[in-house]
Chains A and B, each alone.
Chain A
Amino acid sequence: MSGVSRRVVMTGVLAAPMLARAQAGAPIKIGEVNSYTSQPAFLAPYRNSWILAVEQINAAGGINGRPLETIFRDDGGKPEDAVRHAGELINNEKVDLLAGGFLSNIGLALGDFANQNRKLYIASEPLTDALVWARGNRYTFRLRPSTYMQCAMLVEEAAKLPARRWAMVAPNYEYGQSSVRWFKELLTRAKPDVEFVAEQFPALGRIDAGATVQALAGARPEAIFNVTFGADLTNFVRQGNTRGLFEHRSVVSVLTGEPEYLEPLGDEAPEGWIVTGYPWEQIDNPTHTAFRAAYKARWNADPKLGSVVARDTVTAIAAALRKTSAIETEALIATFRGLTFPTSFGTGDVTFRAIDHQSTLGAFVGKTALRNGRGTMTDWRYADGAKYFPTDEVVRTLRTAPV
């Protein structure tokens, strides 16, 4: 009896500050760093959805009686500022974990910071493979399907096409280059007789669309693999349509089916492109319908893919917090490895793989089409991320960090 009470007292003395925070009712804090001002089109629907998800969790009683609290920080698109905010969130705000990141280099900087400071970091949006493979570390987990996974999903469809002569167009930075590299490698493996006849790497956000389209057309490809997005995509599509680049050619395009990229194209959205994306208005299962309705009711807008990413990140974090006895980094890492949670796509459970900390969240693969003057997806199916990884042996060679 006396032994027990002494231990209680000892723990109380040593862990006094911890205890003060951990008492019932004190919020669990998430520090969220993202490029809100430099990428508002993507991150406004993301943050709205995040806020809604946290509100719903707290309305339902929070995590074991403690509410969730998120502290948002804007990095202005600069990794060095993201790292500064992360320091402030850990040291001053005493957050329990970090999350966020949109641009790949910011995700990597935050991941490395988390590794150095032994804090958990849940990367939501960044796509680069390096985040979980070449530069993965034990403190970093990533939700969204990676560049490799997106390419693997598309190669599956591309290999079914009769086309043998391929041309590539991608923005001139890591994401574009990796996508092109994986697509070539995986397609060659699936269909050894393909050849790659042209490559164009316009500068991100500054595509010279006319010249790029003409350069691709000059190589007379049978099919085109596109990685450009945003304003570059719009300009590329406009020039391509007018110059007939896409006529009698198959186009395979990463991310283009996401409403973030499809909607700005309006009635000039291309038809028949094979894309990864998110047909938000057509997914009618109970989970997704409820999510869509709640989002619409709260923000008077339709969800974008970023909204799903944010909600799933919050869901995953909440699931982990519920399963972990102590809100502490090591315990959270143990929980996150193999953590299973339902995605708001309504397509079932998603798992954070223990082997590389990547979630098995998938994407929808389908074709673009025009309906009522807006771009949408048809013939789509959910591609479960779990099916689009290299073998575990390959992953072990790619991921050098100690598990």
Chain B
Amino acid sequence: MDDLVVQALSGLASASSLFLVASGLTVIFGVTRVVNFAHGSLYMLGAYVAWSLVTHGVFAFAGPFWQFWGGILGAAVVTAAIGAVIEVLLLRRIYRAPELFQLLATFGVVLVVQDVALWAWGAQDLLGPRAPMLRGAVRILGLRFPLYELFLIAVGPLVLAGLWLLFHRTRFGVLVRAATADREMVAALGVNQALLFTGVFALGAGLAGLGGALQLPRESVNLHMDLSTITEAFVVVVVGGLGSLTGAFLAALLIGELSAFGILILPKITLVLVFLVMAVVLVVRPYGLLGRAPQGLHASSGPPDPLLLPAPRALRQLGAVVLALLVGSAWVLPDYELSVLTEILVALLFAASLHFIMGPGGLASFGHAAYFGAGAYAAALLVQHAAAPMWAGMLLAPFAAGLLGLVFGWFCVRLSGVYAAMLTLAFAQIAWSTAFQWVEVTGGDNGILGVWPDAWAQPKPVFYLLALVLCVGGAMLLRRIVWAPFGAALRAGRDSPLRAEAIGIDTFRTRWMAFAISAAFAGVAGSVFAYAKGSVFPTYLGISRSVDALLMVLLGGVQTLSGPLLGAVALTGLQEQLMRGTDHWRLLLGATIILLVVFFPQGLAGAARAAWEKRA
């Protein structure tokens, strides 16, 4: 019993830490609608800056107490300033871009910060000092409990109260709440939005920095803090309801306590628990614990998508030439170049399949890797357990992935916007942890080896041509479906659900089927990838692969059909080149993404189309 009480206190301390990061994220999203992927990076920077300020004794002149606490607060201020700079230089330029486009920009920031932190603070984990006066422990029911954890338990509610006062008792806060409720109305009333957004972003960044800095006496500061934090912070924000501070607080409590007690019953649940919680909450409450359904008819907040037009003649001719070149490459290029091209083809189909549900379907997926991985695992398991030939694996892949898409999609397509995206992420993480932990069947993180093509397809040019047929064929088929009546119904459901229903379109069913189709094509891409690499690992279903797909679609431009294809080629090609050439590929890739985002806010294909139309 005593153990359980102390366990509950441990859960509270974790909850407080979670809430600090999540509060900043939810404030930023509530006002600016930016899905700030760089929030984890700001958290990491907060911890690193605090370490530097404290260990170098910047505030040592004011005594040991202020040397520490001055450093912590100083780190929050510095991070807030960094946040303001990011907002002014980068995000301010792209608020008018399509929804989620800012995610691409903040992802560029993540990559840049990773390399900068490595350069500035070195590779080794850093251990900060303990907090003065809070070093030891107190006895609670005979068990020792760290004083600092007690302090953290208090910080969460204090920050919540502080933010409540800020939002309810100051003019800035009132404006922030007004902007959260109705951005357009606030703008119409003449409020300086630019200033408001910068302020909010700095506030959110400062909270992230404070959260990171407060971990100093508790955890080592390391280069993996950013990505290990960001997903959990997102989960808390979404479970709580986007933009709701109290919701985030409740969600943090829920997740903190469930983790603390969950490991007592099922020690191995650590990988998946938060995502299980999110899946359950979103299925039961589609807008999180305390979130509210967005106002108005249109679920997304960006400007409506432009009408899809058939490709101009010149583009078709260009496509034919490129295709002919690709076919010809099989006879000309050496093996390695062909294997890179094969990878690009896989990326192309994967991106096209995500675009199918994201563009015409209007439903962003943060977990598309689940279906890619399902295809790869279906093929690999068939090889491993039934020694099946390659064609059988490739045939099974779309059905396995499509089936998974049917199951997950049934839940996901009921939701909209970021909630739907996060539910897809939750399901993808559940699939990932299954692949990761069901060692007897999937081999766990050691994966499945020996998934090589049949003898006839082993020569690189042959396999390349096979990949070309499957991937380009798949992408063209998807394109065909967009123009078919089914695709028209899908786009109608996205643009105006009410009118679509009124003319007899079952929008739920259409989106659900589209989700499954998109999953099936991702599965094809996954199976080709599995045979190209010869092995399958849980990373194929991981978050970073889902993010890759998202980046390709956004980089290319979500509003055009050829965008994702262009994005896939650009991102995969760029990464391959940079990784081979330099250890600083993250910095260069991140910087490139940021520049592309600033100069081509409609994506590469969008920019190309704009240039073409201007010329015509």
Binding site for B on A (CB under 8 A): 36-37, 40-41, 44, 73-74, 76, 78-81, 83-85, 87-88, 91-92, 104-105, 108-109, 111-113, 116, 128, 130, 135, 172-174, 177, 199-203, 205-206, 208-215, 217-218, 230-231, 234-235, 238-239, 242-244, 263-266, 268
Asked if B586 is an interface residue, CB under 8 A from chain A, the answer is: yes
Given contacts A173-B436, A201-B268, A264-B126, 19 further A-B pairs with CB under 8 A are: A41-B123, A84-B339, A84-B343, A88-B340, A91-B334, A91-B336, A92-B334, A108-B446, A201-B267, A208-B259, A208-B270, A210-B260, A217-B3, A231-B125, A234-B219, A234-B220, A243-B144, A244-B137, A268-B127
Contacts of B323 in A (CB 8 A): none
Contacts of B447 in A (CB 8 A): 79, 105, 108-109
Also in contact, A230 and B125, with CB within 8 A (given A172-B270, A199-B267, A242-B146): yes
Cβ of A112 and Cβ of B127 under 8 Å apart? no
Residue of B nearest to A81 (CB): B579
Q: Mark B126-152, 1 if CB is under 8 A from A, else 0.
A: 110000000011000001111011000
The segment from B93-101, B355-363, B476-484, B532-540 that touches chain A is B532-540
Which residue of A83, A203, A208 is within 8 Å of B533 (Cβ)? Answer: A83
What CA separation (Å) do A36 and B343 show in the bound complex? 22
Can you spell out 27 A-B residue pairs with CB atoms less than 8 angstroms apart? Answer: A37-B583, A37-B585, A40-B223, A41-B125, A73-B579, A79-B533, A79-B537, A80-B533, A80-B539, A84-B533, A88-B336, A108-B447, A113-B535, A116-B450, A116-B452, A174-B446, A199-B267, A205-B228, A208-B10, A210-B146, A211-B11, A215-B7, A215-B263, A231-B220, A242-B136, A243-B144, A268-B127
Asked if B444 is an interface residue, CB under 8 A from chain A, the answer is: yes
Asked if B182 is an interface residue, CB under 8 A from chain A, the answer is: no
What CA separation (Å) do A134 and B437 show in the bound complex? 18
Asked if B82 is an interface residue, CB under 8 A from chain A, the answer is: no
Report the count of interface residues on B (CB-CB < 8 A): 68
Asked if B580 is an interface residue, CB under 8 A from chain A, the answer is: yes
Contacts of B232 in A (CB 8 A): 206
Listed residue (A85, A105, A112, A214) with the most chain B CB atoms within 10 angstroms of its CB: A214
- Minimum CB–CB distance for B33 against chain A, Å: 28
Cβ of B580 and Cβ of A88 under 8 Å apart? yes
What CA separation (Å) do A86 and B10 show in the bound complex? 46
Cβ of A91 and Cβ of B124 under 8 Å apart? no
Residue of A nearest to B223 (CB): A40
What CA separation (Å) do A141 and B258 show in the bound complex? 44
Contacts of A239 in B (CB 8 A): 146, 218
Residues of chain B from 236 to 291 with CB closer than 8 A to chain A in the complex: 259-260, 263-264, 267-268, 270-271
Cβ of B123 and Cβ of A40 under 8 Å apart? yes
Cβ of B579 and Cβ of A243 under 8 Å apart? no
Cβ of A112 and Cβ of B137 under 8 Å apart? no
Contacts of A105 in B (CB 8 A): 445-447, 537, 539
What CA separation (Å) do A216 and B446 show in the bound complex? 28
Asked if B222 is an interface residue, CB under 8 A from chain A, the answer is: yes
Asked if B175 is an interface residue, CB under 8 A from chain A, the answer is: no
Cβ of B534 and Cβ of A112 under 8 Å apart? yes
Also in contact, A208 and B539, with CB within 8 A (given A37-B586, A214-B3, A263-B124): no
Also in contact, A211 and B259, with CB within 8 A (given A108-B447, A112-B449, A112-B534): yes
- Minimum CB–CB distance for A70 against chain B, Å: 14
Cβ of A78 and Cβ of B446 under 8 Å apart? no
Contacts of A201 in B (CB 8 A): 267-268, 270
Cβ of B7 and Cβ of A231 under 8 Å apart? no
Listed residue (B14, B125, B450) with the most chain A CB atoms within 10 angstroms of its CB: B125
Cβ of A215 and Cβ of B335 under 8 Å apart? no
Cβ of B219 and Cβ of A135 under 8 Å apart? no
Cβ of A74 and Cβ of B585 under 8 Å apart? yes
Which residue of A41, A92, A211 is within 8 Å of B10 (Cβ)? Answer: A211
Which residue of A85, A116, A215 is within 8 Å of B580 (Cβ)? Answer: A85
Contacts of A211 in B (CB 8 A): 7, 10-11, 14, 259-260, 263
Query: Sorted from nearest, which 8 A-B pairs have the closest CB atoms?
Result: A40-B123, A210-B10, A234-B220, A218-B3, A91-B336, A264-B125, A41-B123, A211-B260
Asked if B6 is an interface residue, CB under 8 A from chain A, the answer is: yes
What CA separation (Å) do A80 and B530 show in the bound complex? 9
- Minimum CB–CB distance for A207 against chain B, Å: 8
Cβ of B127 and Cβ of A264 under 8 Å apart? yes
What CA separation (Å) do A81 and B576 show in the bound complex? 9
Contacts of B260 in A (CB 8 A): 208, 210-211, 214
Cβ of B439 and Cβ of A80 under 8 Å apart? no
Cβ of A172 and Cβ of B268 under 8 Å apart? yes
Cβ of A109 and Cβ of B576 under 8 Å apart? no
Cβ of A209 and Cβ of B127 under 8 Å apart? no
Residues of chain B from 433 to 481 with CB closer than 8 A to chain A in the complex: 436-437, 439, 444-447, 449-450, 452
Contacts of B200 in A (CB 8 A): none
Which residue of A81, A209, A264 is within 8 Å of B124 (Cβ)? Answer: A264
Cβ of B452 and Cβ of A92 under 8 Å apart? no
What CA separation (Å) do A174 and B137 show in the bound complex? 35
- Minimum CB–CB distance for B31 against chain A, Å: 29
